[in-house]
Amino acid sequence: MQTLSSPLPPASLNQDVYTDLSGLSRMRKQAQDNPEKTLKTVARQFESLFMQMVLKSMRDASFGDSLFDSSQSRFYQDMFDKQLGLSLSQGRGIGMAEMLERQLHGSLHTSAGAVTAPADSSSLKDRKRELRMPVLNTVSVKEQTTETRTAADKSLPASFSSPQDFVQKLMPLAQKAADKLGLKPEVLLAQAALETGWGQHISRHRDGSSSHNLFNIKAGNSWDGKRVAIRTLEYRDGLARHERAAFRAYDSYADSFADYVDFLQSGPRYQPALQRVDDPKTFIRELHGAGYATDPDYANKIIDIMQRPMLQAAVENGTRHAG
């Protein structure tokens, strides 16, 4: 007969009742002594928590029982769901525990392999060389890219302090892109100002770095470059709604201007707009009509920005500084 002082069997790591909190201490000690044997228990408990969340969501979505609904019944129902979630994770469960166990098992062996690898000097040198080579190649490519950028683009900030600052610092790039399209630079600056709020709302990556996307060109299936996913406002059937979409990302504002030119010139639907570059207002309306943006007032907003004395003064000032 097993006495109270006898050691607990390995099976005691399995939590049969959700109120059994002492199992966590036993599992922590087991993990220190033999982490591989603890993986199955950890995976089962994670699956149990997941099943409890699923059950809770199902209960929340239900209208409930108006006849027997009370704080007491909800309390016991919550206890039942927690125990049910634990029971459902036992045996084969839903397969999540098995999947997690395989992933954690691979990570555990990878970490162990890294620690217990033989300290042979030649093999260590080869491994270090393999690890360093991709980094060195990446740095080399970045250095080459940086060297090819213009001096003006190197000093451009991630955001701009004012509309005048936005126009002045982007004017050289806008002028270069406008010349390729046969447009006035203020047309491009006005569109970029609308798309980014004068450079204050340029889309960013998760680490906070700028995407440099001045024209909010989306990243479709044909785009194989960098991209950033953000929440955007779109108009569907005349109604505005928020959607999450992927947009192109660039290494510099110069790349953004260059891609904008290529995007229009290579797109068949934008050819009618490019035929009217002599009339900025008509160009913008044709661009909008071709589907560049879903905002029904998109063209009028850009034209309004183009006609503001502030932009005209900023363009004149920016041109003078660029010259």
Residues annotated as part of the active site? 234, 259
Tell me how far apart the alpha carbons of residues 226 and 247 are, in angstroms, rounded to a whole number.
9
Are residues 173 and 254 in contact, defined by beta-carbon separation less than 8 angstroms?
yes
Tell me how far apart the alpha carbons of residues 311 and 314 are, in angstroms, rounded to a whole number.
5
Q: Which residue has the tokens 């098992």?
A: 105
Distances (CA, A) of 271 to 191, 265, 286, 309: 18, 7, 9, 30
Q: Which residue has the tokens 């183009």?
A: 306
Tell me how far apart the alpha carbons of residues 194 and 249 are, in angstroms, rounded to a whole number.
18
Phi, psi for 17 (deg, rounded to 5): -125, 135
Tell which residue, 194, 199, 188, 216, has the closest CA to residue 164.
199
Tell me how far apart the alpha carbons of residues 232 and 219 are, in angstroms, rounded to a whole number.
13
Tell me how far apart the alpha carbons of residues 273 and 291 are, in angstroms, rounded to a whole number.
11
Range list of β-strands (E), the chain:
227-236, 239-248
